[in-house]
Structure 1
Amino acid sequence: MKRAACLVIACVLPAAAHALPSFDEVRTKWRSSDWVLLSRDGEPLARTRIDTSARRGDWVALADVSPALREAIVVSEDKRFHEHAGVDWRGAAAAAWGNLWNTRTRGASTVTMQLTGLIEEDGKPTGRRSIGEKARQTVGALWLERSWRKDQILEAYLNLVPFRGEIVGLSALSQTLFGKAPSGLDEREAALAAALVRAPNAPYAKVAARTCTILRDMQALHGARDVDPCVNLTSYVQLMLTRTASAPAFAQGDDALAPHLARRIASEVHPAAGARVRATLDARLQRFARDTLARTLAELNAPAHPRNVHDAAAIVIDNRSGDVLAWVGSAGGLSNAPEVDAVLAARQAGSTLKPFLYAQAIDEKRVTAATLLDDAPLDLATGGGLYIPQNYDHDFKGWVSVRTALGSSLNVPAVRTLVMVTPHRFAKTLVALGLPLSQAGDYYGFSLALGSADVTLATLANAYRALANAGIARPFFDLADAPKEVLVDRRPAPAGTRVFSPEASFIVTDILADNNARTRTFGFDNVLATRTFAAVKTGTSKDMRDNWAVGFTSRYTVGVWVGNADGAPMWDVSGVTGAAPAWNALVNYLNRRSDSRAPQAPAGVVRASVTYQDDIEPARHEWFVRGTQMSAIGLTANAARTVRGASSDAQAARIGAPTDGTIFALDPDIPPARQRVWFERADSGARLAWRLDGKPYSRDARAAWLPWPGRHVLELVDARGEVVDKVGFEVRGAYAKAASHGAR
């Protein structure tokens, strides 16, 4: 009988050898059910499931499997795995004897025999096998043992064996059930995984009982019986197995560092199952950006002073290559719409468009960095009525230079500049920078100077990158080489489009990096100041719905947005309290090993000493486009009278500011502590006092008032209480809405 069996095996073995593939063929054929987004260094950033027939992870080498799991599989499925040659004849005899006496015994199939069946059926077991199939499996196991090493057999088995539900292979099981790599499985987790091999879809109680048996067998191997390994095991098994029903298409944790970018790539590139797509992202920077935004949101929503800010996004672009090094579409756990990619969401730009406006005006030689602009009330006739821009703090500064106007984000000077440039031409410039304006400039009108157009964080940051690259706009890259695994290190940069001259770009960059230019609005000690060179601008849209901080160093452009994905307004958030702290943290991280250096002045600019008449601004050295430099700047006689206040023949007492009928529409881009409306009188020095809404307010010739929503009446009264002059005004805008939430 034994000789006959050996003869059959000898005859069938060559056929089995011809039918079964080699280990390398099996491993090469393996395909994950996901495609994987990799960082530029090959670290997984996100997994996206493509094949819905089964859930398979990456192939796992046996060296990356925890010793506990290897032991649990052998103890559970094949105790003599390391001794037999493919068939456990002792186990087969015991099984046959048990079947003869109708006794429940462990099956006689070894790990090698099971692997033979998995290879033949392409990982899809068919249930009970006939005697002929068993014989074929036995022959195949003998051939595998002669052709494969033991470690190869166990490795292939762990990758091909089906577990619970649709899960196939150890990688998918480990990530889905335990949220960790197979190398990190402990004894309890390993025993549960081994228990699922025998009865993948058994009820919780049966799986728990089998897990308990495996744990006790493993404990017996080591001679340890002090602690019962089965305590609370049933509840643990039930908790772990419930995770399989809700496993996401996008993996969680660090394996989902860039889910939004992965989703966009999936819709554009359509990777196949098993594909590994390499992006330009830096995994460490991506992780730091995600964690920084989450920390920023937590601070903005501290219980002592909640700001109603639930979403944030960030992007980092390499200035030279255009590679996107970080892309965080959403951060924080309180978002009402975490699936929204805020890097690509179109939102109002606020004051972040001002640098482009001044660069264009400098290129057109309409202004220089030293040119004086009048920061005073301005009424512009439009098709819908009067457009009356206001500064955030409503403290008009009078005559200021372009450097101060841009650095301190003053609105009225920006609108005056747009009047010279025209909305139509400015809109064309923004489109040339890659900003997705949906309408022509005349549609936005003069409000375009204050960022009424919708932009995305990605396009806005790339537009600032054009300033960093001396005025040349080029596209950015977020994918190194979509269908392949090879990173393209020397990708040729496109020619690009020159939008600004190197001279205008340099001068605007110098202003954005000048902390002294920001002091009129933000104070000297502000979060926009960095240890080394960085040019930056903040912006806040209408009703505090969007807050931006965008800028660049010598090597990187960094853009940060905070707000709410559903469009809800924030409370008491300004340009330097919302996005700017996260922007500052990212810039410091990027410069942690090397300093950022200011750009070299191009040949077309000169630096000249400038003095101002009547000390309107301190004397300084200023940059000019060659041929536009000047050394002394003053005002005409009419302008001088305006800046000094009332003319010499205006002896009668009156209210100089605000004017009657003024509507204050506050720009939320300046800290709330600096929100003030200034009452000014033009008189001959008589003893007069202010009365606001019928109540005494101040006796100072110039008094500051914290704006409050609604209509107000301001009176100037003499010593007898008689009204000398009276004006009415109204307060509207974002600050009024914030006040209803207690944010003042």
Structure 2
Amino acid sequence: MNTQEKAWLLRQRRDRRNRARGGASKTLLQMAGGLVVLLITGFVLTVVGGIAAAAGVYGYYAKDLPDPGEIVTRQEKFETTKIYDRTGEVLLMEVIDPRHGDRTMLPLEQIPEDFRNATIALEDKTFYTNIGIDPVGITRAFLLNLQGKGVQGGSSITVQLVKNILIPEEERYQVSYARKIKEAILAMEISRLYSKGQILEWYLNTNYYGNWAIGVEAASQVYFGKHAQDLTLAECAMLAPIVQYPAMNPIDNPDEAKKRQGIALERLRDEGYITRTEAEAAFAEPMQIHSSMLKRYDLVAPHFAVYVRKQLEDRYGSEVLYQGGLKVYTTIDLEIQRIAEEEARAQVAKLKEQGEDVNNAAAVVMRARTGEILAMVGSLDYWNEEIDGNVNVAVAPRQPGSSFKPFSYVTAFHQGHTAADMVMDVHSCFDDYPNPPYCPENYDREYLGPRSFRSALAQSRNIPAVKVLDMVGVGNVIRTAHAMGINTLNQDLDYYGLSLTLGGGEVWLLDMVYAYSVFANGGTMMGQPTKLARTGYRQLDPVSILRVEDAKGEVREEYKQPEVRSVVLADGRELSPQEAYLLTHVLSDNNARAAVFGSNSALRLSRPAAAKTGTTTDYKDVWTVGYTPQIVTGVWVGNNDNTPMEGVSSSRGAAPIWHNVMERIYNEGHAQRILGEVIDNFPRPPGLTTVAVCAVSGLLPNQHCPNRVNALFIEGTEPTEYCNVHHVERVNRQTGKLATACTPPELVEERVYEIYPPEAANWVRQKGIPQPPTQRDEIYGCSPEGGEVVIVDPSLGGHVRDVVAIRGNARSGDFNFYRLEFGEGLNPSAWSQIGGDHYNQVDNDVLEFWDVRGLNDGLYTLQLTVVDHSQNFRRATSYVTVDNTPPEAYVGYPWPGRVYELEASDEWANLAADVRDNVQIDRVEFYLDDELVDFSVVEPYAVKWVLQMRDLRPPDRNMQPVMETRTVTNPDGT
């Protein structure tokens, strides 16, 4: 017997003595006094009428109350809730109250003392000493009510028992003082009539602990697969808090359940039941959650039925759900559900026959213009424990791969970018300090160079998608996803980074389908108001329930027409119909994706449809989400235990399911039956225009653009500039250098060059794309004044160091002498002469040697002056940059002194350098054992080291890689 129970027995003996002295009238006065505390009117009542007034209040409320003795029989009265399909003809689930089937009543002595103590510490720490109510808690609640903070509780264990058993259902959830007074009277009466042990036994056997578990024995079996008497302290602390929030249980919400276990252990410690050491040991104890529910009842569309059951419980509470006799008409269409189940099972079976390690799939079908869920396949087999079949993957967090990319691109369209904009698909690295540089790769490990936003998205190129995300901002894309329907991605922005657009955050399949419905609806969201609206998140929810009737046949709720909401993005502006249509136009462009997926891929339907695939880097998740104007379907394929499906891409795994489900919905007449009028084409909003652009740059074509395309634009975003990629240069075909005004015309030819942004320099070099010469014609060098006075080398804007040979022409008809001078900056205020005056003419030869070693780094102007005998002169100028300071460089990645164990599938390692220079970097070369690996001219400087067998060795923890930095001097002195 514990201390609390001993104290209770002593009080019972004392109370019996008091009752013997004072009789029943004494007891009545004690209960009336307790009622006075409940009302916080004790002071007033004492002043105006004292105990008699309190007794009067008691009598007023007690006259119509049920007999407290009915607490034994009331537990047997209930009516089940039935959940049907949308027709009301097929029963999906009968929600049986487990108290009348699975519940096992336990005597108090078979309930672990730790469980009893945890319950009392959490729910009613004065249980053994109070009179059925907690006066202190009631007083506190009343004061909060007076402050305008709503009608608060203060319920004791006995009051909760009364509420759940004796208070009529229609009153149970009313917020009123009258109900609370009735509960208090009954609680005090029951506390007088029955022992604390009996009350606690009833309470622990009738509480709801989530997942159909009523009572501690059922809860113990559901969550731990053992009898309650075998529960450990840690397990007791995990179960006891569930009664407060049944959804926060270790199956459905393990993280929150763990937090609440910690709170329970703290309360047990604070109340003196356990020591700090025992609490810490219990919290550290691994939990073996028995996560597979027993197959208690036959279910149709089981994951959907359970999903609806949880929604009903959230809206009406567990007591109404289990005993209220509700009749629920859901949105599920069993014909479409059947199609989704058949296609998912058939495709996974096909993959397994091909030897692929895949065992599960999920699918959601939704009516876009109402938000109604028409089908939900949470797994291939709800009852298959080997695949964790009871887990509903449709509402479980999974990484979406590239199916997340549309949120990045539609954010870009919202910011004024266009589907014709050029983005470079080249090897790129992004600084991610203090982590290694982030270097995304395409699925095919190839780099295609210039891509339009349209082709980059349609062909699912990863590197362009990361660059688009970098342009528009990670935070903006997350806010777009939230506003369109994604309820996850709730970590800080730094948590996600640029991998977000490749599916680096976890989302629900149901949320993805709902978000894509915004595209299908032309930028608007349709559904029912969300229960917990959050700023910046979606304001509507998908719909799973059409109508709820109570046991009397009265309608409790009914979904007749969808709410319609605009989607407000991060800048406070609404997602426009034009932006949504442009995104749809890209995702439905079969020609744009054909180069990668083929012209007859699974993404192509027999009617207009937009679709996007997604495959995670490790092949753990493959997705396809797509839509017609009225139907949205999302498919996931994978393994619940995260086992990789080596080589199974979305095109092989999820896309065939999506294709077949969509085709069958239309071809078998289900779309006509559900929708009535079938809309074939996506409605095109006004405010769009088509313009011919350069196929490469996306700008207005100049005369040198080889290919032109007609591109769709939102009005106001059409290009106004001409192509900046295709340039013409005049070249001396004999020397290959830029022609000058003095180059003979017969040697000059015009050549068209493709000039790409600096970020593409490495790709341009590797592809061997011709670039314009950087040097001007020296043989026929001349100046604007006839070529007799000109500085040829160093070239205009060049870089110099050490001692520089200055070459050029210094000639005239009445030549006397020439001199060379330099000054700091573009417009020097003072000049310094280089060498002396020279009295010999120079024709394309060395004019002077300039020693710059003592000069500060920076920009300088060179001036050549030729003077004739009449003191007439002509001048030529040029400017150069003096760069005497070598760059600082160190290997940024791999980090020195570390051993790296690469995955078997890794084909290369990224090498990165952190290089700084006060002027300019020409290139950074990477060497392995004195052998050049590659070089980069693009910051951040990184290259790929293609791994060969000779480069690999077993890991040696004592091995210290040698890494050093060398400065390379070019032949020109830079």
Short-chain TM bin: 0.5 to 0.7
Aligned residue among 476, 480, 494 for 2:542: 476
Aligned residue among 645, 653, 657 for 1:582: 657
Q: Which amino acid is the alignment partner of residue 40 of structure 1? A: R
Q: Which amino acid is the alignment partner of residue 418 of structure 2? A: T
1:635 aligns with 2:725: yes
Give 1:630 deviation, angstroms: 3.6
Counterpart position of 1:599: 682
Counterpart position of 1:446: 498
Give 1:456 deviation, angstroms: 0.4
CA–CA separation in structure 2 for the residues paired with 1:456 and 1:585: 22
Instruction: Identify unmatched segments of 5+ residues in structure 1.
Output: 1-29, 57-245, 652-659, 664-706, 715-722, 733-744
CA–CA separation in structure 2 for the residues paired with 1:476 and 1:617: 49
Counterpart position of 1:523: 598
Q: Which amino acid is the alignment partner of residue 601 of structure 1? A: R
CA–CA separation in structure 2 for the residues paired with 1:519 and 1:370: 17
Counterpart position of 2:945: 729
CA–CA separation in structure 1 for the residues paired with 2:502 and 2:626: 18
Evaluate the alpha carbon distance shift between residue 410 and residue 581 of structure 1 in structure 2; reply closer, same or farther with a 3 A threshold: same
Aligned residue among 409, 415, 422 for 1:364: 415
CA–CA separation in structure 2 for the residues paired with 1:344 and 1:257: 10
CA–CA separation in structure 2 for the residues paired with 1:534 and 1:650: 48
Aligned residue among 421, 431, 440 for 1:381: 431
1:603-626, CA deviations, whole angstroms, 9 ceiling, x for partnerless residues?
121122333369999533221010
- Give the structure-2-normalised TM-score: 0.43
1:308 aligns with 2:391: no
Evaluate the alpha carbon distance shift between residue 616 and residue 439 of structure 1 in structure 2; reply closer, same or farther with a 3 A threshold: farther
- DSSP-derived class of the 2:420 partner: coil
Evaluate the alpha carbon distance shift between residue 729 and residue 526 of structure 1 in structure 2; reply closer, same or farther with a 3 A threshold: same
Counterpart position of 1:105: none
1:572 aligns with 2:650: no
CA–CA separation in structure 2 for the residues paired with 1:255 and 1:579: 20
The correspondence of residues 63-212 of structure 1 with structure 2, limited to 5 A, is none
Counterpart position of 1:61: none
Give 1:483 deviation, angstroms: 4.5
Aligned residue among 618, 625, 629 for 1:543: 618
CA–CA separation in structure 2 for the residues paired with 1:279 and 1:381: 50
CA contact (8 A) 2:429 2:439 kept: yes
CA contact (8 A) 1:36 1:47 kept: yes
Evaluate the alpha carbon distance shift between residue 264 and residue 585 of structure 1 in structure 2; reply closer, same or farther with a 3 A threshold: farther
Aligned residue among 293, 298, 308 for 1:251: 298
Give 1:49 deviation, angstroms: 4.1
CA–CA separation in structure 2 for the residues paired with 1:334 and 1:307: 20
CA–CA separation in structure 1 for the residues paired with 2:347 and 2:713: 39
Counterpart position of 1:159: none
Instruction: Identify unmatched segments of 5+ residues in structure 2.
Output: 1-75, 103-292, 526-539, 570-574, 673-677, 698-703, 727-753, 775-890, 895-903, 912-929, 935-943, 949-974
CA contact (8 A) 1:310 1:334 kept: no
CA–CA separation in structure 2 for the residues paired with 1:430 and 1:297: 30
CA contact (8 A) 2:933 2:945 kept: no
Give 1:438 deviation, angstroms: 1.6
RMSD: 3.5
1:636-656, CA deviations, whole angstroms, 9 ceiling, x for partnerless residues?
6641876563555899xxxxx
Q: Which amino acid is the alignment partner of residue 611 of structure 1? A: C
CA–CA separation in structure 1 for the residues paired with 2:314 and 2:351: 35
Evaluate the alpha carbon distance shift between residue 613 and residue 527 of structure 1 in structure 2; reply closer, same or farther with a 3 A threshold: closer
1:433-485, CA deviations, whole angstroms, 9 ceiling, x for partnerless residues?
23111213332111112121111001111111111122223421111124457
Evaluate the alpha carbon distance shift between residue 440 and residue 501 of structure 1 in structure 2; reply closer, same or farther with a 3 A threshold: farther
CA–CA separation in structure 1 for the residues paired with 2:336 and 2:640: 23
Evaluate the alpha carbon distance shift between residue 619 and residue 446 of structure 1 in structure 2; reply closer, same or farther with a 3 A threshold: same
Counterpart position of 2:514: 462
CA contact (8 A) 1:662 1:730 kept: no
Counterpart position of 1:611: 694
- DSSP-derived class of the 2:394 partner: coil
Higher RCO by CA contacts (8 Å cutoff, separation 6 or greater):
1
Q: Which amino acid is the alignment partner of residue 368 of structure 1? A: T
Aligned residue among 265, 270, 277 for 2:311: 265
Evaluate the alpha carbon distance shift between residue 378 and residue 404 of structure 1 in structure 2; reply closer, same or farther with a 3 A threshold: same
The correspondence of residues 566-715 of structure 1 with structure 2, limited to 5 A, is 566-592=641-667, 593=669, 596-612=679-695, 619-630=708-719, 633-635=723-725, 638-639=755-756, 643=764, 645-648=768-771, 709=906
Evaluate the alpha carbon distance shift between residue 392 and residue 562 of structure 1 in structure 2; reply closer, same or farther with a 3 A threshold: same
1:497 aligns with 2:567: yes
Give 1:385 deviation, angstroms: 2.6
CA–CA separation in structure 2 for the residues paired with 1:300 and 1:406: 27
CA contact (8 A) 2:608 2:681 kept: yes
Evaluate the alpha carbon distance shift between residue 504 and residue 555 of structure 1 in structure 2; reply closer, same or farther with a 3 A threshold: same
CA contact (8 A) 1:708 1:731 kept: no
CA–CA separation in structure 2 for the residues paired with 1:335 and 1:290: 18
Q: Aligned residue pairs: how many? A: 451
Evaluate the alpha carbon distance shift between residue 395 and residue 447 of structure 1 in structure 2; reply closer, same or farther with a 3 A threshold: same
Q: Sequence identity of aligned pairs in percent?
A: 29
Counterpart position of 2:367: 318
Counterpart position of 1:39: 85
CA contact (8 A) 1:257 1:286 kept: no
Aligned residue among 277, 287, 291 for 2:338: 287
Counterpart position of 2:812: none
Evaluate the alpha carbon distance shift between residue 428 and residue 324 of structure 1 in structure 2; reply closer, same or farther with a 3 A threshold: same
Give 1:635 deviation, angstroms: 1.4
CA–CA separation in structure 2 for the residues paired with 1:582 and 1:662: 42
Give 1:730 deviation, angstroms: 4.8
- DSSP-derived class of the 1:480 partner: strand
Evaluate the alpha carbon distance shift between residue 600 and residue 542 of structure 1 in structure 2; reply closer, same or farther with a 3 A threshold: same
CA–CA separation in structure 1 for the residues paired with 2:627 and 2:343: 18
- DSSP-derived class of the 1:355 partner: helix
Q: Which amino acid is the alignment partner of residue 448 of structure 1? A: L
CA contact (8 A) 1:46 1:262 kept: no
1:702-741, CA deviations, whole angstroms, 9 ceiling, x for partnerless residues?
xxxxx96455999xxxxxxxx9964562579xxxxxxxxx
- DSSP-derived class of the 1:412 partner: helix
CA–CA separation in structure 2 for the residues paired with 1:275 and 1:412: 53
Counterpart position of 2:535: none
- DSSP-derived class of the 1:558 partner: strand
- DSSP-derived class of the 2:391 partner: coil
CA–CA separation in structure 2 for the residues paired with 1:322 and 1:519: 31
Larger Rg: 2
CA contact (8 A) 1:661 1:729 kept: no
- DSSP-derived class of the 2:357 partner: coil
1:344 aligns with 2:395: yes
Give 1:391 deviation, angstroms: 0.3
CA–CA separation in structure 2 for the residues paired with 1:713 and 1:439: 28
Which range is displaced more, 263-272 or 386-395? 263-272
Evaluate the alpha carbon distance shift between residue 710 and residue 372 of structure 1 in structure 2; reply closer, same or farther with a 3 A threshold: closer
Give 1:294 deviation, angstroms: 1.4
Evaluate the alpha carbon distance shift between residue 495 and residue 612 of structure 1 in structure 2; reply closer, same or farther with a 3 A threshold: closer
